């Protein structure tokens, strides 16, 4: 795995699926430089908090971290965390488990905005998911089809693949169907790294020369600093390196005579992201005590997004990063203790919402949204439109 990371160059993109506490993500961040991008996915909440803390310790401003699994379908999954002393062996299970954590899974088919983040960068993908490799690759289908994805490194867990009805050969066949060829000479039993590359010379001549069969990886830059591997210990208070943007607006019918235009693609993307993010929040069943200690002003300053003051009686009960169509989003779940939580989103996006709160409904959900300068906000929940409109106006007032 380090050999593959060593092939990264300035301005490239590294996608880390199963990032754990961020060892490879942080090494990749050094390799790709300020103009590059690292996108890291880690489903275990406590490990994710440590990942965020390590990103902050290393001041890695080019790393975007998401508290999610990558899978063949977007929705809830059960993460087996019965080995708490070794989070690197946590795995998605589709059956009974000794101990489990419900996590959100993501298929990139549902979030094409991630490809917009990557822009025209060439991409190297790393996957370490303890037997869930085939489902993860299926969830990465748009990225595998992206012509500038030049390589994929998959840690194969042959002993665990069977529980998902998969085999190493099925993983290899999927990658070969996307035009990747295997370039390592490691066997096919136990735990091993399988390295695949694709010739993208048509768009970037000479790229294959940077991914040799046996690369000699050399460290460069400052050493990576790691925080506590297991346990959050203030992880949520170190968001300085994690940018967040949200696209949430509503389409459908609106309260009174106002209707959101159906012909504006930006609004369609906006509401789709809002609903997907809200549904993801609903499947999260385990909240860390660290959430309750969230300093909204500190987080907002770090993200360059103003987190609005909540009305009396309302508090933040959960927070996570979420990939929306226009970029990584910040989602807060807020509650007044009288009913189920409501989702509050914030995004740095100009001109996507009206200056005064407007309310609409879609798929049984009410969405209230508004713009404040270069920032857009939205509330989403299963509440009467009048109630959410009133709450939005209370939050939006200066």
Residue numbers of the domain that contains 331 = 243-396
Does 356 lie in the same domain as 251?
yes
pLDDT of 50 reads 84
**What CA–CA distance (Å, rounded) separates 166 from 49?**
31
Which one of 210, 226, 253 terminates a domain?
210
pLDDT of 216 reads 30
In a domain, 237, yes or no: no
This prediction's pTM: 0.59
Which one of 186, 210, 234 terminates a domain?
210
The CATH number for 110's domain is 3.40.50.150
- Torsion angles phi and psi, residue 93, rounded to 5: -125, 145
Does 58 lie in the same domain as 115?
yes
Name the β-bridge partners of 359.
368
Within 13 Å and on the Cβ side, how many CA atoms surround 224? 20
Residue 375 is classified by DSSP as E
For residue 197, give both structure tokens. Answer: 């590359």
Does 247 lie in the same domain as 206?
no
Does 206 lie in the same domain as 248?
no
For residue 27, give both structure tokens. Answer: 């090494």
Name the β-bridge partners of 66.
41
Does 151 lie in the same domain as 97?
yes
**What CA–CA distance (Å, rounded) separates 230 from 228?**
6
In a domain, 138, yes or no: yes
In a domain, 378, yes or no: yes
Give start and end residues of each alpha helix (H) in 156-242: 158-161, 168-177
In a domain, 215, yes or no: no
Could you tell me if 43 and 37 are in contact, meaning their C-beta atoms sit under 8 angstroms apart?
no
pLDDT of 357 reads 92
Could you tell me if 180 and 197 are in contact, meaning their C-beta atoms sit under 8 angstroms apart?
yes
**What CA–CA distance (Å, rounded) separates 15 from 37?**
8
At what angle are helices 45-57 and 23-32 packed, to 10 degrees? Answer: 40
The CATH number for 390's domain is 3.30.200.100
Task: Show pLDDT as tens, one digit a residue, over the chain (398 residues).
Answer: 778 899 999 999 999 999 999 999 999 999 999 999 999 999 887 788 788 788 878 877 888 888 888 988 877 676 666 555 544 556 666 555 455 667 778 888 877 777 878 888 999 999 998 888 999 999 999 999 999 999 999 998 887 777 778 888 999 999 999 999 999 876 666 778 889 999 766 444 444 434 443 333 233 344 444 443 333 222 222 222 222 222 222 222 122 223 344 446 666 666 667 776 677 666 543 334 333 344 556 555 555 678 888 999 998 887 766 655 555 567 788 999 887 889 998 877 777 888 899 898 988 899 998 888 888 889 999 999 999 999 999 999 86
Could you tell me if 37 and 8 are in contact, meaning their C-beta atoms sit under 8 angstroms apart?
no
Could you tell me if 51 and 29 are in contact, meaning their C-beta atoms sit under 8 angstroms apart?
no
pLDDT of 394 reads 95
Count of domains for the chain:
2
């Amino acid at each position: 795995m380090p050999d593959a990371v060593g092939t990264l160059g300035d301005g490239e993109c590294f996608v880390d699926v199963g990032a754990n506490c961020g060892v490879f993500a942080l090494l990749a961040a050094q390799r790709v430089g300020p103009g590059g991008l690292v996108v890291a996915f880690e489903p275990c909440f406590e490990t994710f908090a440590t990942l965020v803390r390590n990103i902050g310790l290393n001041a890695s401003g080019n790393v975007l971290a998401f508290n999610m699994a990558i899978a063949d379908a977007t929705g809830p999954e059960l993460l087996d965390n019965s080995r708490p002393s070794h989070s690197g062996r946590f795995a998605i299970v589709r059956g009974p488990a000794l101990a489990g954590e419900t996590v959100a899974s993501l298929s990139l088919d549902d979030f094409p905005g991630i490809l917009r983040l990557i822009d025209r960068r060439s991409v190297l993908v790393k996957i370490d998911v303890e037997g869930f490799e085939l489902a993860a690759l299926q969830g990465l289908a748009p990225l595998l089809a992206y012509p500038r994805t030049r390589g994929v490194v998959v840690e194969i867990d042959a002993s665990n693949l069977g529980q998902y009805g998969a085999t190493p050969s099925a993983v290899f066949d999927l990658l070969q169907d996307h035009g990747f060829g295997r370039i390592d000479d490691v066997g096919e039993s136990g735990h091993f790294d399988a390295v695949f590359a694709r010739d993208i010379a048509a768009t970037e001549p000479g790229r294959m020369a940077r991914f040799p069969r046996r690369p000699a990886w050399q460290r460069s830059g400052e050493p990576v600093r790691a925080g506590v591997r297991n346990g959050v210990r203030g992880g949520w208070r170190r968001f300085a390196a994690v940018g967040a943007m949200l696209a949430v607006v509503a389409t459908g019918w609106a309260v009174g005579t106002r209707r959101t235009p159906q012909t504006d693609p930006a609004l369609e993307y906006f509401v789709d992201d809002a609903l997907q993010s809200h549904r993801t929040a609903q499947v999260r069943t385990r909240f860390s005590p660290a959430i309750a200690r969230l300093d909204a002003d500190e987080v907002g300053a770090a993200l360059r997004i103003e987190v609005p003051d909540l009305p009396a009686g309302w508090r933040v009960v959960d927070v996570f990063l979420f990939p929306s169509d226009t970029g990584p989003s910040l989602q807060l779940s807020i509650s007044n203790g009288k009913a189920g939580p409501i989702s509050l989103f914030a995004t740095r996006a100009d001109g996507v919402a009206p200056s005064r709160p407007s309310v609409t409904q879609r798929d049984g959900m009410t969405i209230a949204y508004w713009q404040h300068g270069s920032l857009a906000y939205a509330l989403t929940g299963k509440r009467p439109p009048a109630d959410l409109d009133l709450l939005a106006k209370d939050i939006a007032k200066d």
